[in-house]
Amino acid sequence: VTGTRVNLLPYIEMPINPIFGYIKPKLSFQSISYQLDNVQPGEDDAPSVAVPMFSVDSGLVFERDMTLGGMGMMQTLEPRLMYVYVPAENQDTAPLFDTGSGSISSYNVLFRERRFFGGDRVGDDNHVALGVTTRILADSDGRERLKASLGQLYYLSDRVVGLNPDDAPETSGASDVFAELNALMTNEIDFRSTFRWEKDGTLANMSAGIQYDSGLRRAVTADYFKDSFQNEDIRFTMDWPLAPRWQFSTGQRYSITDADFRESSIGLVYDSCCWAVGMSATRNLQSDGEYNDRFVLSLELAGLGKISTAQ
């Protein structure tokens, strides 16, 4: 099935921003319509759906002065609450071109108005997202030295609209718990991490990493990942100058679980004032256990475009 899709999302929003927080009521109206070719006999070749959506995003900001390591700091406490309501509309005749259920993968993804990722479905919803963030900012330069967030979704009704007509309704009453912790250790080194706990308290996913970035073409990162299947990976990346116009880069992702490299890349670029030439080689482990090797040679003309070839 092929065709044309028109997706419109007009909305009215009235932000209210007092000094101590904010509240953003929003009324949206999503309209999706198709003109399809190659449909089966008797099937609708022009399905459409129109769904209103209502949300209210709100938060408060509390501040206090503090001293940490002899330096003046300001700490904030920022509770956040968002309510989303979307009624259920039958969309069984609509195709699936680019839409998936996705997943709530981080604290920020909790505060979304739409349940699906893509433009083919408007998922019904009736939930409250609750979260809290605290930050520590330096008085000297205003930079954020630490940020920690914790949040969860609470569903007020089942979700009956699925990607496919035979999908069972989603009946869970709450999402998993998500947290983030980021810290600026020095002006060039920062630490970042994410966590996801299942409702029974089991740690399902986590990531933690350190990044060094001097701002002078020198950057190094090291990350650790653990997913819900108990797979553990380590990733290392580096971008470093070898000479004034030569830049070296590499990236390695090693599976602790499989004792093997999942991804490996190495690259070299020569950058003149008005042109650049680069070469890179990558190796990726595919789902069937075989490796995919790729070599890329590229030529870039400043302001004109880029030509590359891959084998």
pLDDT tens digits for 90-111? 999 999 999 988 777 789 889 9
Q: Are 99 and 117 in contact (CB under 8 A)?
A: yes
Residues sharing a CB contact under 8 Å with residue 23, sequence separation 6 or more, in sequence order:
15, 16, 56, 57, 58
Query: What's the pLDDT band for 80 if we cut at 50, 70, 90?
Result: very high
**Confidence at residue 307, expressed as pLDDT on a 0 to 100 scale:** 67
What separation in angstroms does the CA of 19 have from each of 63, 79, 149, 310? 11, 15, 21, 54
The pLDDT of residue 67 is above 60: yes
How would residue 230 be classed by pLDDT, with cut points 50, 70 and 90? confident
Under a CB-based contact definition with an 8 Å cutoff, are residues 62 and 75 in contact?
Answer: no
Contacts for 134-139: CB closer than 8 Å, 24+ residues apart: 134/75, 134/76, 134/77, 134/78, 135/75, 135/76, 135/78, 136/66, 136/68, 136/73, 136/74, 136/75, 136/76, 137/73, 137/74, 137/75, 137/76, 138/71, 138/72, 138/73, 139/71, 139/72, 139/73, 139/74
Task: Provide the 8-state DSSP code for 16.
Answer: B
Within 10 angstroms of residue 234's Cβ, the number of other Cβ atoms is 14
Strand pairing report for 71-86 and 21-37: unpaired
Of 75-79, 125-129, 288-292, the poorest mean pLDDT is in: 288-292
Of residues 156, 193, 155, the one with CA closest to residue 175: 155
Contact 104, 153 (CB under 8 A): yes
Share of the chain above pLDDT 70, in %: 98
Per-residue pLDDT of 21-55, as tens digits, reads 999 999 999 999 999 999 999 899 999 999 999 99
**Cα 143 from chain centroid (whole Å):** 23
Smallest CA-to-CA distance from 182 within 195, 200, 196 is with: 195
- Residue 309 is predicted with a pLDDT of 61
H or E element, residue 54: strand 48-60
Res. 294: pLDDT tops 70 = yes
Report the SS3 class of residue 15.
Answer: coil
pLDDT surpasses 60 at 310:
no
Q: At 130, which amino acid appears?
A: L
Q: Which residue has the tokens 């020198």?
A: 218
Question: Tokens 């580096």 map to which residue?
Answer: 238
Contact indicator for 126, 157 with CB cutoff of 8 Å: yes
Q: What is the C-alpha to C-alpha distance for residues 80 and 123, in angstroms, rounded to an integer?
A: 23
- Map residue 110 onto helix, strand or coil: helix
The pLDDT tens digits for 201-213 are 899 899 999 999 9
**Predicted local distance difference test score (pLDDT) of residue 69:** 82
Mean pLDDT, the chain, whole residue set: 92
Q: Can you give the pLDDT at residue 251?
A: 96
